[in-house]
Amino acid sequence: MRTGRWAFWLLLPAAVAAMTTGVNAVAAEHVETLATSAGAPVALGTGPVAVTLAPPTAGKALSARVASVGENRKVYLVARGLGTDEPPETIYQIYLGLPPGVAPSPDAIYYVGSLNFFHAVGAARSDPRFLSFDVTALLRTLQSRHSLGDTTTVTIVPAGRPRASAKPVIAEVALVEQ
């Protein structure tokens, strides 16, 4: 009986070390920004807003960066720094690569998801929280259709009529490989 208890206490630190090492290995995973909306924050209003995402440094075009994403890697559309003066009282739909003249629809392949500003009232633009959407399959589809070039566009559309005094903003929109 005593042998079993001692074995438990001797193996416990090893088990904790193994779990901690695994967590740190995941946290140390390489992350690369493929494209970003560098510059001023994105101000949302009562109509669609188009945001151009361009590679953060000169060199490879976005299409080449997407083509080099490994099979076991994912690409996420990330919205950071959400803030608003008052609740807009609507959600915003996000589309990636929506061609000009095509009406935004949640049933279309370009639809990524929606975001809200429920917890962003009075939030600073440097708020560390973010929203992310897996867009790996969508980017590969756009790549196969030759619809990606040096840049791409994210279109953000209010699903309803936002409150006029809300003034929602997004500090940065980015495509991140992980």
The model's pLDDT over 52-80, given as tens digits with 9 standing for 90+, comes to 999 887 778 888 888 889 889 999 999 99
Closest CA to 168 of 95, 119, 110, 98: 119
Give the Cα-Cα-Cα angle 65, 68, 74 (nearest 5 degrees): 90
132 and 111, same structural domain?
yes
Please report, for the domain that includes residue 107, its CATH number: 2.60.120
- The pTM of the full predicted model, rounded to 2 decimals, is 0.80
Same domain for 121 and 169 = yes
Euclidean distance between CA atoms 139 and 100, whole angstroms: 17
Q: What is the pLDDT of residue 127?
A: 62
Q: At 157, which helix (H) or strand (E)?
A: strand 152-158
Q: How confident is the model at residue 39 (pLDDT cuts 50, 70, 90)?
A: confident
Task: Say yes or no to pLDDT of 4 above 70.
Answer: no
Same domain, 47 and 7: no
Q: Which domain holds residue 8?
A: 1-30
Same domain, 83 and 1: no
Give a three-class secondary structure readout of 103-154. CCCCCCCCEEEEECCCCCECCCCCCCCEEEEECHHHHHHHHHCCCCCCCEEE
Residues 1, 56, single domain; the answer is no
Same domain, 26 and 98: no
Residue 163's SS3 state is coil
- Number of domains observed in the structure of the chain: 2
pLDDT tens digits along 117-143: 887 777 655 566 789 999 999 999 999
